[in-house]
């Protein structure tokens, strides 16, 4: 029984002289390769030229601040629950008086850590977050690391800098700058 029509019977008849001479086959092969010689090269000269990321690219995580520069994360733990790789851990803390300009909600994440070796960059944390606090940046690749202790990213590396606001990738769909 045949499942497809692609099966072809092998031809085991003795080679003809043309096949035993090799020359016609070699000439054909040389023709094929020389065609490639003059073809345009698809190479991207990396450090000078960069390939554009896909619009849905999920890169390095960022913990967003709001317009006044307050951290949005309220340490609800939904992202940690959603994470299939169990890469996220956090410790919540209560906001003190006088910290209103630092944290938007009354509860905030005192510690927020993502293990980059475990993370699979699926983006479920981003979907789970009710406060629009965590995003996977569309234009930044997670850096390579050389030591084990560099692997766990804490708040120092995750929270966005005020003078260097991170892109969330949402503006591409909504047109609203976050």
Partner 1 sequence: MELSILIVKSLIILVIFGITLLIATYSTYAERKVAAFLQDRPGPNRAGPFGLLQPIADAGKMFFKEEFIPRQASTWLFILGPCLAMITALMSSAVVPFGDTILVDGKEVMVQGIDVNIGLLYVFGVVSLGVYGIMIGGWASNNKFSLLGAIRAASQNISYELAMGLSIIAILMMSGSLSLRTIVEQQHGMNWNILYQPVGFILFLTCAFAECNRTPFDLPECETELIGGYHTEYSSMKLGFYLFAEYINMFISSAVISTLYFGGYNYPGMDWVRETLTGSLGAVAGHNVATLIGTIVFFGKTFFFIFFFMWVRWTLPRFRYDQLMNLGWKSMIPIAILNILLTGAGLLLNTKLMSWVMVVIIVLVVVVQGAVANKKRAQTQSYSKA
Contacting residues toward partner 1, per CB under 8 A: 9, 11, 13, 16-18, 20-21, 23-24, 26, 29-30, 32-34, 36-37, 39, 41-43, 45
Nearest residue (CB) to partner 1, 41 versus 148: 41
Minimum gap (Å) between residue 54 Cβ and partner 1: 23
Minimum gap (Å) between residue 53 Cβ and partner 1: 23
Measured at the alpha carbon of residue 79, what is the angle toward residues 77 and 102, in degrees to the nearest 5?
65
Minimum gap (Å) between residue 20 Cβ and partner 1: 8
Contacts of residue 1, Cβ cutoff 8 Å, sequence gap at least 6: none
Reading the block at residue 141, the tokens are: 């690749």
Nearest residue (CB) to partner 1, 19 versus 127: 19
Q: Which of 58, 59, 56, 64 is nearest to 173 (CA)?
A: 56
Nearest residue (CB) to partner 1, 33 versus 174: 33
How many angstroms separate the CA atoms of 153 and 77, rounded?
Answer: 17
């Amino acid at each position: 029984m045949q499942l497809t029509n692609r099966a072809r019977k092998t031809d085991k008849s003795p080679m003809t002289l043309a096949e035993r001479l090799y020359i016609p086959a070699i000439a054909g092969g040389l023709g094929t390769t020389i065609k490639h010689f003059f073809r345009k090269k698809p190479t991207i000269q990396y450090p000078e030229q960069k390939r554009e990321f896909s619009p849905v690219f999920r890169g390095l995580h960022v913990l967003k601040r709001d317009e006044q520069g307050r951290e949005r994360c309220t340490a609800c733990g939904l992202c940690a629950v959603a994470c299939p790789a169990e890469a996220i851990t956090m410790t919540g803390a209560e906001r003190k008086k006088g910290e209103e300009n630092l944290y938007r909600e009354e509860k905030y994440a005192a510690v927020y850590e993502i293990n980059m070796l475990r993370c699979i960059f699926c983006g479920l944390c981003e979907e789970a977050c009710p406060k629009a606090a965590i995003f996977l940046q569309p234009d930044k690749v997670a850096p390579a690391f050389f030591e084990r202790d560099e692997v766990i990213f804490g708040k120092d590396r995750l929270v966005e800098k005020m003078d260097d606001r991170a892109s969330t990738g949402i503006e591409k769909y909504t047109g609203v700058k976050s």
